Structure 1
């Protein structure tokens, strides 16, 4: 007899995972993202029928595809009733069990990441798997400051208690499958880079389980919480209402005159090409959000640009198609597109401009005394070490604080070159003389 199988559906741009759990015939889907076609493909390849869809929590970092997926399959949609969602669902609460073919699914209340968070322990004979959402992660736990500032301390204490209860609900050999923690801003603390783990391994290594002092754990976790994307504020309310299906259609390429008009009017035109190509040649007024190469494209675009504005994506068809999918996951729908990788051919009458791109040695050698060094890393990164005299304005605050950038030529850097590439394009769009320091930040340059 075939044992329980878990199919992992990864979303690297957001650092999250969804799961298809099945017994060879019927399946449970946990925390599906909005582009549900990936789940449909996984189910078809496994030859199973989706009968249940479950949420661990109302997500802050992406829109769920749970409602759409459950509706498409006539599946039970399992949601904690305490979440007070605005759509039909099958309530599931602490201690409730559901049978999915041979699989027994038990809900375990694990508040901490949110007030109404659930984890699921799935059992098939001697085999167990724990789906922990934003509760127990690999090496740490989900962050506890996403609900409200006044709730953070209590949620952190809840998180400490919840993970201890969760590990008692399953055997030590149970496989652990969190939703967050793979580069997601929803993780906190010293999350590891592991790709798999068990309850036993976490009992040995996870600070939330090895720290015997709850007060110490709470202080340390809260002290190490860093900034998170502003678009998070829009996710939970949309998930409460129940997001509709994602529209992944690639639009027809804009007329060159229309693209020029949008640039002239100050609309947001996003160039997806790599930052090297952008620095050397791009349409005046466009901004650089390099797609691919392991970048956090979705998170930073949703964090940096004003919410709810029309976007126009510029790039090759493949990158545009992938970017549309990624953006749909955070509720940025129906962007327009100018398809092509040669800027001069995409617009009529718009200047093609550039800016210098250098490494650290060139910056240290060429920078004049009156020039500005702008560090666009987060404040916690800056505090840990920075170049003497550098001005710190985190990338996600730059648009609102542009007037705080001192006059003169601006040499802008970050940790790796990605964020500073975005910042350089925003600065040039604002009329500044900019140089992009595109190199890994070196501690020996700091003070």
Structure 2
């Protein structure tokens, strides 16, 4: 028996395949199920069951489609009403994988219905536990996704759920969480790549703190989560449509310009420095990286038509796959090649890219303003002197709050700042993108009180 990990680094999540003797059970699959199908085929196995730990808030599940495609039993925690047939599992029930079993343990906190699955080997001994958004590596799943009125109650439930797992399972039990690798579903960032129950007893706040301290600390440190989360639960509850990964329709320069002028979302996937050097007026710059889907999903006007610009067809195909994972299916076209060609008769726009050393040379000028688009908690921990803080997902609605000056925009590493720079450029503001690490600003002595 072994556990295969299917990583989705762009969303900070993992899916799992438990395999033994030609039988495979899949836990928390992402929507692009071809990855799972290929992995199981390589193992020479057949999927008998597809399990969900909870109705997900950070991605559209592939569980329903995978279960139908594979002819497998679909297992979903009892609780919320769902719009499709599935086995509704409750605490203590067992899924039989042949030479192994998975026992459901009700672990509310991340959601009310949340369950973890304890993996028992052929001897009946616990070998692992699939914890979804309950016990993460040195953290837990966030508890505020169902609304402010339920958050404290769910935080208390999360504390007891993690302790139940730690109390019931041997120290050498492997922990397999779905979240916690960069997902905003985690209460805090974590750095481990693997862990056991025994290790978590020494490092997880739910196991090292008393209840009041854990609850108060978690509630005090919850940050904003992406706006698209509000759509994920609805889609997963009703039942996602089958995924479509086909290539978007090709769009010519004239049609690109028409779409931009109509106010549609035309998103440029190229590197942020390439976008700054030359881009279509009115387009958005979202460099295709691990941060792409989270921040596009956060800022995107849900349901708006979307057109992608990329270096090549492969880049557009990758972006489309990422977008389907969060339910953005209305990709109405794509265009690739030289950006000057895609601009047609229109001239390209551009703006300067600099670093914090360049900012230091301009520091204190009346016609220069610094915009910090990090989260408010990041800003409070330290910031460039006299900087204005507007988080990137609020910027489009708050551009008028910025002074009439040359705007030097930064974040922690450059990605969020690059998105913000494209928004400011779209609004006709003079912008300089600081493509640099915030730590450099500290080293140069640029930080101080506002």
Deviates more, 1:332-341 or 1:84-93: 332-341
1:13-412 alignment, distance < 5 Å? 13-124=10-121, 125=123, 126=125, 128-189=127-188, 191-211=189-209, 213-292=210-289, 295-315=290-310, 316-367=312-363, 368-412=365-409
Partner residue, 2:447: 446
* 8 Å Cα contact 1:5/1:24 also seen in 2: no
* 8 Å Cα contact 1:338/1:346 also seen in 2: no
How many Å apart are 1:337 and its aligned residue?
3.5
Partner residue, 1:415: 412
* 8 Å Cα contact 2:270/2:287 also seen in 1: yes
Question: Structure 1 regions of 5+ residues with no counterpart?
Answer: none
* 8 Å Cα contact 2:126/2:170 also seen in 1: no
How many Å apart are 1:241 and its aligned residue?
0.4
Query: 1 CA distance for matches of 2:253 and 2:366?
Result: 42
Query: 2 CA distance for matches of 1:387 and 1:361?
Result: 13
* Pairwise CA RMSD: 1.2
CA displacement 1:409-439 (0-9 Å, x = unmatched):
1111111111110000000101111111111
Query: 1 CA distance for matches of 2:110 and 2:135?
Result: 10
Query: 2 CA distance for matches of 1:98 and 1:366?
Result: 64
Give TM-score, length-normalised by structure 2.
Answer: 0.96
* 8 Å Cα contact 2:252/2:335 also seen in 1: no
Question: Structure 2 regions of 5+ residues with no counterpart?
Answer: none
How many Å apart are 1:334 and its aligned residue?
3.6
Query: 2 CA distance for matches of 1:147 and 1:288?
Result: 32
Query: 2 CA distance for matches of 1:321 and 1:161?
Result: 43
Aligned residues between the structures: 440
Query: 2 CA distance for matches of 1:168 and 1:73?
Result: 36
* 8 Å Cα contact 2:406/2:432 also seen in 1: yes
How many Å apart are 1:127 and its aligned residue?
5.3
Query: 2 CA distance for matches of 1:374 and 1:347?
Result: 29
Deviates more, 1:414-423 or 1:396-405: 396-405
Question: 2:8 pairs with 7, 11, 21, which one?
Answer: 11
Give 3-state SS (helix, strand or coil) of 1:245's partner: coil
Give 3-state SS (helix, strand or coil) of 1:98's partner: strand
Deviates more, 1:348-357 or 1:269-278: 348-357
Give TM-score, length-normalised by structure 1.
Answer: 0.96
CA displacement 1:39-96 (0-9 Å, x = unmatched):
1011101111001011000100000011101111221111112121111001110111
Query: 2 CA distance for matches of 1:16 and 1:71?
Result: 23
Give 3-state SS (helix, strand or coil) of 1:188's partner: coil
Query: 1 CA distance for matches of 2:120 and 2:14?
Result: 20
Give 3-state SS (helix, strand or coil) of 2:327's partner: coil
Query: 1 CA distance for matches of 2:166 and 2:43?
Result: 29
Deviates more, 1:133-142 or 1:360-369: 360-369
